[in-house]
């Protein structure tokens, strides 16, 4: 027989449950479980500008490497204010999964060839080659003449090349005697457009070996000219994303900021990969948006910024035009595409203040045998994490203690064999800590449990990694009044 203390506790619990006004009757959530309304973070533009002054992404064609090398993968030069190792890859800088990359345009694609943007100094005068950002690779062309046509024809075959620097390099033993081309007329390709102000490599290196006490000749440059594409077009949109705005001269200064990375080329695919692999924010969840832009410092391209957000921004917040000598250029915003249709339940608008339904055009709520209104969609801002819509698991009127099921109205169109992350926010706090202690929700993928969460908590992030089959069934099962569970902001992202 239960002790008097135990009986008293059970009686108190029963009274508490009886006194509750259920969600279906517009009950008020437990006041002790008020969500954290701290404003979402925004970028620290001073840190970004300061870090831009620390990185050095400028380079030129090396004196000791053979021509026609493959273009190196995009690398990360800084993350959240910390300068990284020079060989840090995108995958290494990502916290987890990475998106599959395609061979697509980055800075832009060529339209109608190149035009000269600066000329070299006259023959016989020492000159300098470009030291600039987004160096790609180089070749050598026949040096019997100043062979501009051959250089530009080669540049047209290099993906993402928008600028070439053509110059003679003297006293380089490898060019003169080792490499098969036997030419010292270098043609260096870049993924960004540069100016004569960036001609800072005057040579001065020793390439020939020391022989006795003879003076070793040093390399030097002559007739260094630059050619750039006449027009640029937008880069291809990364897989799994949609272009929101751009290009403009303003970077986002928006809430939901997660951090930033500098990369060595203007590469939207690399930014997408960094966003996909960014660790989840405990408040906002996964990265859902990135803003890529080029930093020009004192008129010179310096670095390429990927700012990441857990909230989707737009052009209205692209109001950071730079600080001091740093100017924002080529700013574009991209939103990560979710396979969950109306994951915020904002499509249900049958009233102006309070109403709910078992199903709408995009979501279907079902009750088990004997259950009544065990899953549904609410229009009522106090129940939502964001906006006005949310979903409820558990009998809306408290008529039973059965678990409800909520599922998309149509199967999820996936790519067979590809991984996805199901992300949502669950609130198990309506009835207070004691009555919600037994609250639970399961994530099911094609009928199998793949994740879930239990116990009392205000809106918190829940994730489950799944594998697509091409057409998949997602469902959320849980809630047992008075241990109700609210769901909001459901997303399904490709990894």
* Local confidence band at 133 (pLDDT 50, 70, 90 cut-offs): very high
Average pLDDT over every residue of 429-449 = 97
Average pLDDT over every residue of 142-160 = 96
Which residues, 6+ apart, have CB-to-CB distance to 276 below 8 Å? 94, 97, 98, 99, 240, 287, 336, 493, 494, 495
Whether the per-residue pLDDT at 416 is higher than 80: the answer is yes
**Segments making up each domain of the chain, as ranges:** 45-106+234-336, 114-229, 341-494
Whether the per-residue pLDDT at 282 is higher than 70: the answer is yes
Q: Give the number of C-alpha atoms closer than 13 A to the C-alpha of residue 178, restricted to the C-beta side.
A: 12
The pLDDT value given to residue 317: 98
* Local confidence band at 102 (pLDDT 50, 70, 90 cut-offs): very low
Average pLDDT over every residue of 126-132 = 98
The pLDDT value given to residue 92: 75
Average pLDDT over every residue of 309-324 = 97
CA distance 293 to 250: 8
* Local confidence band at 155 (pLDDT 50, 70, 90 cut-offs): very high
CA distance 391 to 377: 4
Average pLDDT over every residue of 240-252 = 97
Whether the per-residue pLDDT at 262 is higher than 60: the answer is yes
Whether the per-residue pLDDT at 56 is higher than 50: the answer is yes
Average pLDDT over every residue of 74-81 = 96
Q: Which H or E run contains 459?
A: strand 457-467
The pLDDT value given to residue 104: 41
Q: In the chain, what percentage of residues exceed pLDDT 70? A: 91
The pLDDT value given to residue 98: 42
**pLDDT tens digits, one per residue of 208-222:** 888 888 889 999 999
Any idea what DSSP says for residue 105?
A: -
- CB-based contact 432:403 (threshold 8 Å): no
Average pLDDT over every residue of 354-360 = 97
Give the CATH number of domain 341-494.
Answer: 2.60.120.260
- CB-based contact 235:268 (threshold 8 Å): yes
**Rounded mean pLDDT of the chain?**
91
CA distance 131 to 188: 10
The pLDDT value given to residue 106: 55
Q: How far apart are the first and last CA of the chain?
A: 55
Considering only residues 99 and 370, tell me which one the structure prediction assigns the higher pLDDT: 370
Average pLDDT over every residue of 450-479 = 97
The pLDDT value given to residue 214: 85
Which three-class secondary structure state does DSSP give residue 168?
strand
* Local confidence band at 361 (pLDDT 50, 70, 90 cut-offs): very high
The pLDDT value given to residue 97: 44
What's the distance, CA 272 to chain centroid? 4
Average pLDDT over every residue of 132-150 = 97
CB atoms within 10 A of CB 215: 8
Which residues, 6+ apart, have CB-to-CB distance to 445 below 8 Å? 422, 464, 466, 472, 473, 474
* Local confidence band at 89 (pLDDT 50, 70, 90 cut-offs): confident
* Local confidence band at 151 (pLDDT 50, 70, 90 cut-offs): very high
CB atoms within 10 A of CB 335: 18
* Local confidence band at 12 (pLDDT 50, 70, 90 cut-offs): very low
* pTM for the structure as a whole: 0.88
**pLDDT tens digits, one per residue of 178-231:** 999 999 999 999 999 999 999 999 999 999 888 888 889 999 999 999 999 987
What's the distance, CA 19 to chain centroid? 47
* DSSP letter for each residue of 264-330: SS--HHHHHHHHHHSPPBTTTBS--EEEEEEEEETTEEEEEEEEEESS---GGG--B-EETTEEEEE
CA distance 377 to 409: 13
- CB-based contact 350:400 (threshold 8 Å): no
Whether the per-residue pLDDT at 11 is higher than 60: the answer is no
What stretches of 120-162 adopt beta strand conformation (E)? 126-127, 129-130, 135-141
């Amino acid at each position: 027989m239960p002790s008097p203390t135990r009986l008293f506790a059970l009686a108190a619990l029963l009274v508490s449950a009886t006194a509750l006004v259920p969600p279906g009757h517009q009950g008020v959530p437990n006041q002790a479980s008020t969500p954290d309304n701290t404003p979402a973070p925004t970028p620290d533009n001073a840190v970004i500008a300061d870090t831009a002054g620390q990185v050095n992404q400028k380079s030129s064609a090396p004196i000791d490497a053979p021509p026609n090398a493959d273009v190196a993968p995009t690398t990360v030069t800084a993350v959240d204010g910390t300068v990284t190792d020079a060989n840090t890859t995108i995958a290494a800088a990502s916290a987890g999964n990475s998106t599959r990359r395609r061979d697509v345009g980055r800075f832009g694609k060529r339209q109608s060839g190149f035009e000269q943007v600066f000329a070299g100094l006259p023959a016989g005068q020492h000159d300098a080659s470009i030291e600039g950002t987004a160096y790609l690779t180089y070749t050598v062309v026949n040096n019997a003449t100043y062979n501009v046509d051959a250089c530009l024809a080669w540049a047209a075959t290099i993906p993402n090349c928008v600028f070439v620097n053509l110059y003679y390099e003297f006293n380089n033993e490898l060019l003169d005697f080792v490499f098969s081309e036997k030419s010292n007329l270098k043609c260096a390709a870049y993924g960004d457009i540069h100016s004569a102000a960036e001609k800072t490599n005057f040579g001065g290196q020793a390439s020939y070996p020391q022989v006795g006490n003879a003076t070793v000749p040093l390399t030097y440059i002559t007739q260094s000219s630059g050619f750039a594409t006449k027009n640029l077009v937008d880069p291809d949109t990364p897989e799994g994303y949609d272009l929101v705005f751009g290009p403009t001269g303003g970077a986002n200064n928006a809430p939901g900021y997660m951090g930033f990375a500098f990369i060595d080329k203007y590469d939207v695919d690399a930014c997408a990969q960094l966003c996909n692999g960014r660790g989840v924010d405990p408040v906002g969840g996964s990265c859902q948006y990135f803003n890529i832009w080029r930093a020009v410092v004192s008129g010179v391209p310096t670095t390429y910024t990927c700012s990441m957000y857990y909230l989707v921004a737009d052009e209205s917040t692209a109001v950071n035009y730079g600080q001091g000598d740093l100017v924002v250029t080529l700013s574009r915003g991209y939103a990560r595409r979710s396979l969950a249709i109306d994951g915020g339940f904002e499509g249900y608008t049958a009233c102006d203040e309070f109403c709910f339904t078992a199903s709408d055009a995009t979501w279907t709520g079902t009750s088990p045998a004997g259950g009544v209104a065990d899953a549904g969609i609410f229009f009522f801002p106090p129940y939502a994490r964001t906006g006005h819509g949310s979903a409820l698991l558990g009998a809306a009127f408290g008529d039973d203690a059965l678990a409800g099921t909520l599922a998309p109205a149509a199967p999820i169109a996936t790519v067979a064999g590809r991984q996805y992350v199901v992300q949502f926010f669950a609130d198990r706090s309506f009835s207070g800590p004691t009555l919600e202690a037994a609250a639970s929700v399961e994530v099911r993928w094609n009928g199998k449990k793949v994740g879930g969460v239990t116990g009392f908590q205000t809106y918190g992030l829940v994730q489950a990694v799944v594998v697509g089959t091409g057409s998949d069934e997602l469902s959320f099962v849980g809630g047992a009044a008075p241990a109700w569970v609210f769901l909001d902001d459901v997303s399904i992202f490709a990894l």
